[in-house]
């Protein structure tokens, strides 16, 4: 089962690191400039590549991918985290974000 490794959602920081079923790690980073998903290496210490990113003009694309409009509203980080926890690998995440674009 995928799991949350780190989670921080404050006015200054908004990120979450997940360890997927495959053992791969992904970092969700939300900033004023947009949203990025990074694949992490070295036990989650170093970003090794960007899996997906949405800047402010593209933010509606990210909302369409991750939001469950029938569920109660949650903070964006929680919504993305909950959706990615259902992915087993980075390949699953890549399929999710490209399928929805």
DSSP bridge pairs for 15: 8, 29
pLDDT in tens, 33-86: 999 999 999 988 999 999 999 998 888 889 889 988 788 888 999 999 999 999
Taking the domains of the chain in order of start, what are their residue ranges? 3-99
Query: At 30, is the pLDDT very low, low, confident or very high (cuts 50, 70, 90)?
Result: very high
| Token pair for 53 | 């990113």
Contact yes or no for 31/76 (Cβ under 8 A) = no
Q: Rounded to two decimals, what is the model's pTM?
A: 0.91
Gyration radius of the chain's alpha carbons: 13
Residue 24 CB contacts under 8 Å (≥ 6 apart), including other chains? 39, 40, 89, 90
Q: What is the pLDDT of residue 100?
A: 59
Residue 101 has pLDDT above 70, yes or no: no
């Amino acid at each position: 089962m995928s799991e949350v490794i780190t989670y921080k959602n404050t006015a200054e920081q908004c990120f979450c690191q997940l360890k997927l079923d495959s053992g791969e790690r992904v970092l969700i980073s939300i900033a004023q400039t947009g949203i990025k998903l990074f694949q992490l290496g070295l036990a989650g210490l170093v970003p090794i590549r960007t899996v997906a990113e949405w800047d402010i003009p593209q933010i509606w694309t990210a909302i369409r991918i991750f939001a469950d409009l029938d569920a109660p509203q949650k903070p964006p980080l929680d919504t993305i985290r909950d959706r990615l926890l259902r992915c087993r690998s980075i390949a699953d995440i890549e399929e999710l974000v490209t399928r929805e674009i």
